[in-house]
Homo-oligomer: A and B are copies of this chain.
Amino acid sequence: MVQCVHTVKELRNILKPLKAQGKTVGLVPTMGALHPGHATLISQSSKQNDITVVSVFVNPTQFGPNEDFDAYPRTLDNDLKVVEGAGGDIVFAPSPKEMYPSEDMTWVEVTGNITKVLCGKTRPIHFRGVATVVSKLFNIVAPTKAYFGQKDAQQVEVLKRMVKDMFFDLELVVVPIAREQSGLARSSRNTYLSDEEKSQATVLCAALNLALESFKSGNNDLESIINITKQKISSSEIADIEYVECYGLPGLYELKDKIQAPSLLAVAVRFGNTRLIDNIILE
């Protein structure tokens, strides 16, 4: 039976005796609205750790003023079922006041190119909010391992850097993108899509795969790979491209004319009012 707690104190009271027994703890930080993509993270954690904690917190500080914080789906009852089904043990669902106890915030911020490219360009405060809330969760849970989806590829790179710079004593585990049969990357924001938009959005995965094929067949020209991706996405008339960009891994370093393996090819595209992201590693 999954236990659901809402305060740091309750959570620590549960974890303390378990840790004293030497149990390992996996943390899966989420914003709730759990779907089968999250379930793969939770079930991987549950296989690799004695205890799995899933945090469910729609973090206000990672949303910009014109973003979908209020509209973001909140489905705690269903989330508890997903966690149970995937083998999780504890859901930590705090209030914003619990996570942000002071009026003036303490921020954790990763600086440099890594937070300025891709989503960082149009979402300037997003990664500061992510780094801050994830740091808090790390300090609250002190997990052995923490699980993040490759779907949020830039988030993964930012958090890897943060873990290294701040000496968090844990292993960050990156889980591959979960996709629907159609190829559409699973996302809580897919619930915003109409049937038509959902069908059109499958072009993202198709475009990324086309680029990967081209790269694998010997095309390492940056501009050409970007163009192949853009052209394919534009074959959907309702696709409104925010970016199609490619950076070197690890750390999202700037590429010159040629793509070095491994590199991240990432896209953000609007279908109607819904902004979707997807990515693939060229290697």
Contact = CB atoms under 8 A, between A and B. Distances in A.
Contact of A106 (B20, B108, B169): B108
A165 B101 contact: yes
B106 A166 contact: yes
Nearest to A139: B167
As for how many copies of this chain the complex holds, the number is 2
Interface in A162-190: 162, 164-169
A135 B165 CA distance: 10
A197 interface: no
Chain A contact residues (Cβ within 8 angstroms of B): what range?
20 to 34
A164 B102 contact: yes
A12 to B, nearest CB: 7
A162 B107 CA distance: 9
A142 interface: yes
Contacts of A113: 104
User: Interface centre among A110, A112, A167, A168, by most B CB within 10 Å?
Assistant: A167
A280 interface: no
A5 B195 CA distance: 61
B112 A162 contact: no
Contacts of A20: 22
A71 interface: no
Interface string A86-105: 00000000000000111111
A140 interface: yes
B110 A109 contact: no
A158 to B, nearest CB: 9
A106 B136 contact: no
A281 interface: no
Given A136-B166, A139-B169, A109 B112 contact: no
Interface string A2-42: 00000010001000000010100000000000000000000
Nearest to A105: B111
Nearest to A109: B107
A95 to B, nearest CB: 14
24 contacts: A12-B169, A20-B22, A100-B165, A102-B112, A102-B164, A104-B110, A104-B112, A104-B114, A105-B112, A106-B109, A106-B111, A106-B131, A106-B161, A106-B162, A106-B166, A107-B107, A107-B108, A135-B166, A136-B165, A136-B166, A139-B167, A139-B168, A142-B142, A142-B169
Given A107-B111, A142-B169, 14 more contacts: A102-B165, A104-B112, A104-B113, A106-B108, A106-B111, A106-B162, A107-B107, A107-B109, A108-B135, A135-B166, A136-B167, A139-B166, A139-B167, A140-B169
